[in-house]
Every structure is written in structure tokens, then in C-alpha cells.
Amino acid sequence: MVVRPRSEKARQSVLAAMRRALAADGYDAVTIEGLAAEAEVSKQTIYRWWPSKAAILGEALLEGELPTPDLRATDDLATDLRAWFTAMSSRAEDGANTALARALIAVTATDAELGLALNKRLADPIVEQIVARLEVAQRAGQVREDVDAAAVADQFIAVSSYSSLLGRGLDEARVSAVVDVLMRGVGMGSIH
């Protein structure tokens, strides 16, 4: 076999052009031809390796390290979650990140299959972190045994997604409100 390998340089150039274009103009203003020009790459090269604009976005999302903060595990669940969710929402203040998030939502609303796959790969690690942390708290007796940890984790994701969809970030007060209610919701307190 005499094969010339795929140009990794061209690939990275296209993905970078996609990220730049997203931040500048938004997902559906991006065109393949514009991408090719911006990346200084032939249009055919793009079509050779990606089936669609959405697929390029997918790779850009998976490859570009979506920097999600770590969820620390001290002995105080509330503090851990508050710190994590605060860091999470501060990520959303960077325009490039919100552009990526909005693009993810746009492509998910359009291409359900690819959207599900992307969301799975991006959200699952976060969900797992939260679920694991909640299970630790359950063993420590800080969280009720009958709490559906995945449902709670999903609520954090949902709130984040919805707020970046609407372009309104999560201010400190809102972060506190969400964490407070959810913390009390999973806690051992009884209802009188």
C-alpha cells in the first residue's frame, strides 16, 4: 500500500476556522465554502473527510477541550456543588464558549441523532461526576437514599443549557438559588 496520509494540518485548520466562525457569526452563518477559504483549504478536502457542517462542529466540540471544571469532594457537598456550578457558569462568560454551546444546541435541535451523540459524549462525564459525588454524600448520610442522582445531575445540565440558549448567563444569585434549592431537595431534612 502506497498511501499518502490525511493532512492533519488541514484538519486542524478547518476545526480552528469553525471555532473562529462560530464565535464571530454563529453556527448557521457558517458555510462550507467560507470555512474552506478561511482555513485555506480546498472545499473538496472538507467534503472528503466530513459529511456535513454538523460533523465538523461535532469534531470541533469533541476535540477542543471543552474545559469543564472538576467537582471537588470535600466533606461539604453544598460547598462542592456551589464551587463547581459557579465555575461552570463563569465558563459561560467567555463568548467563545457560549458560541460553542449555542452551536451545540442549534445542531441538536436540527439533527437529533448527532445531537444526542454529542450531548452524550459531552454531558455524560459531567453527569457521572455529579452522580458519583452524590453517591458519596449518600453513603455519608448527607443525601437521602431515594434521591435520583441522575435526575439531579440532569437538572444542573438543563439549567446550564437553557441559560446559555437564552444568552443570559447565570449570575451569582441565580447560581446560589439553584444550588440552595437542589441541596435542600436532596438533603436529609424532613418536611413538616
Contact with DNA (CB under 7 A) among 3, 166, 173, 191: 3
Which residue stretch of 1-9, 59-67, 86-94, 126-134 sits at the interface with DNA (rule: CB under 7 A)?
A: 1-9
Cell of 10: 488541514
Nearer to DNA, 12 or 79 (CB): 12
CA 105, CA 100: separation in Å to the nearest integer? 9
Nearer to a second copy, 17 or 54 (CB): 54
Asked if residues 137 and 153 have their Cβ atoms less than 8 Å apart, the reply is no
Nearer to a second copy, 8 or 146 (CB): 146
CA 48, CA 51: separation in Å to the nearest integer? 8
Q: What's 142's DSSP letter? A: S
Q: Which of 89, 113, 90 is nearest to 178 (CA)?
A: 89
Amino acid at 74: T
Please, what is the minimum distance in Å from the beta carbon of residue 10 to a second copy?
28
Contacts of 32 (CB under 8 A, 6+ apart): 43, 46, 47, 53
Please, what is the minimum distance in Å from the beta carbon of residue 105 to DNA?
19
Please, what is the minimum distance in Å from the beta carbon of residue 42 to a second copy?
26
Residue positions counted in the chain: 192
Site string for DNA, 39-78 (x = CB under 7 A): -xxxxxx-xxx--xx-------------------------
Q: Select from a second copy, DNA, none the partner in contact with residue 192, using the beta carbon and a kind-dependent cut-off of 5 to 8 Å.
A: a second copy
In the complex, the residues that contact DNA under the rule CB under 7 A are 1-7, 10-11, 31-34, 40-45, 47-49, 52-53
